Amino acid sequence: MSNTLMENPIAAQSAWPAWFTAEQATALAEYEKSPTPTRKNEPWRFANLKPLDLSAFVEAKPVASEGRLINASAGLAETSAKLVLGNNTLLHRESSLPEGVIFETLETAATKHTDLFKKYFMSQPVELGSLKYAALHKARLTGGAFLFVPANTSVELPIEIFQWVEGANASVFPHTLIVCGENSSVTVVDYFKSADKLPAFACGVNDLHLAAGAKLTYVSVQDWSHETTAFHLNSTSVDRNATCTALIANFGGGFVRGESLSRLIGEGSRSEMFSINPVEGTREIDQRTLQDHVAPHATSDLLYLNALDDKSRTIFAGLIKVEPGAKGTDAYQKVKNLILSDDADPNSMPGLEILNDEVRCSHGATNGPVSDEELFYMQARGIKRDAGRRLIVNGFFNSLLERIENENLRTHLEQLLAKRLAIA
């Protein structure tokens, strides 16, 4: 990589402007006064509320194993830029991005590109239940990644962001803000990783903004330790003829609450929302989604796949909302649960709210086991039952990864998945 830049992580600290720290004080008050959710709140139906007791978690210390984490921040073979953050602080940055592209820490963006920051930072509504935790995120935010791709600019190679947590009960507040100008295109892979196997708390926000004609592929590879409690609040806003493909791979986390809002605000816009969730042990993935069709002739396509083993638990609560003016909407939503154990607990709530008659809309939810015939077929060919089962799970998730256009990225994700399922 040419044009590599190193920044002093210490200098990046406490770089927030005063107006922002004032807003943080307000956010903290908001967090403290909002009630903890109960299952009576529709967005928390079926939810496990025990993980909402955050009293065990503490402020993260500066990372101890900086060099190791930077070395371990290896993803794709070829990238155009990389940002590594550990315990909310910048550890490493490298970039060979085209001119005009801004790829900075969030606090630098707040200072140097104040107008852009103010326009897009947490500007989307939080509608899926976690207002309280969005306030906590804002109050405690110290670092994050900011990407701005100007109009008519194509970033050929993917950009990678690594956000690490280290230490027992450490709290991190990852933030990724991506703004794509008109007719720009870019691919971003966001990794969330633990330096150890200890319990931790992550409360992150990812916001994606696509102007007219922009094209963004965003992949979140969530690989926290299995002792981690995590909130990931994602939002996407897609303008005229823009296309966003967002994939969330939940490989880690003990309790993960994910909220994904996609607003189709321009005619002809398209939003693809994908997720793959291999869960085992007592892990729990609680996902709430909203496909909000504001503009006419837009398309949204959601496909979430869960494979549940042991005593794991998933919740999928999705809603397609077609606003009165959104004629010519095409909206799809599907959740598939592959059940690998009698004790697994999948919950699906695929919802529709349609306020316009000119729509094509469908949703579906299926639950089913691995078929004995498939296993028998493999056993007959010398593949052991357990290995056969993992191959089936791999195939189940691969059917979704096929929808990622970028071949290098797709191959990379297939490898990560195979590693995660202990096949490779």
Partner 1 sequence: METKPDLNIDRSVGDFHYDVDYEFDAGIGLSEKTIDYICDVKKDPDWIREFRKEALRKFNSMPMPTNWASHDLDNIVFENIRYYLSQGTQPKRSWDDVPEDVKRTFERLGIPEQERKFLAGVEAQFDSEAAYSNIKAAVGEQGVIFVGSTEGLHKHPEIFKKWFGKVIPTGDNKFSALNSAVFSGGSFIYIPPGVKVKHPLQAYFRINAENFGQFERTLIIADEGSEVMYMEGCTAPKFETSTLHSAVVELVALKGAKIQYITVQNWSANVFNLVTKRGLAHEEAEIKWIDCNIGSRLTMKYPGVIMKGRKARGEVISIALAGDGQHQDTGAKMVHAADETTSNIVSKSISLGSGRSTYRGLVQIGRHLKGCKNNTECDALLINTESRTDTYPAITVRGKENACQHEASVSKISAEQIFYMQQRGISKAAAMSLAVNGFVNDLVQQFPMEYSVELKRLIDLEMEGSVG
Q: Which residues bind partner 1 (CB under 8 A)?
A: 40-42, 45-46, 324, 327, 337, 339-370
Q: Which helix (H) or strand (E) holds 229?
A: strand 228-238
Q: Which is nearer to partner 1, 206 or 306 (CB)?
A: 306
CB of 356 to partner 1, least distance (A): 6
Token couple for 224: 């926290």
HSE value, Cβ hemisphere, 13 Å, CA-based, for 316: 26
CB of 423 to partner 1, least distance (A): 20
* 13-21, Cβ contacts within 8 angstroms, sequence gap of 24 or more: 13/89, 13/142, 15/105, 15/107, 15/108, 15/111, 16/107, 16/110, 16/111, 16/142, 17/110, 17/111, 17/114, 20/110
SS3 of residue 304 by DSSP:
strand
CB of 260 to partner 1, least distance (A): 18
Q: Which is nearer to partner 1, 171 or 329 (CB)?
A: 329
Q: Which is nearer to partner 1, 3 or 38 (CB)?
A: 38
Residue with tokens 């490989």: 251
Q: Which is nearer to partner 1, 35 or 368 (CB)?
A: 368
142, 107 Cβ separation under 8 angstroms: yes
CB of 134 to partner 1, least distance (A): 21
61, 146 Cβ separation under 8 angstroms: no
Q: Which is nearer to partner 1, 147 or 370 (CB)?
A: 370
CB of 339 to partner 1, least distance (A): 4
CB of 128 to partner 1, least distance (A): 15
Residues 405 and 410: their CA atoms lie apart, in Å, by: 7
Q: Which is nearer to partner 1, 39 or 419 (CB)?
A: 39
Residue 296: phi and psi, rounded to 5, are: -75, 160
Q: Which is nearer to partner 1, 334 or 410 (CB)?
A: 334
C-alpha torsion sign, points 119, 120, 124, 130: negative
CB of 402 to partner 1, least distance (A): 22
Bridge partners (DSSP) of residue 165 are 194
Q: Which helix (H) or strand (E) holds 392?
A: helix 385-401
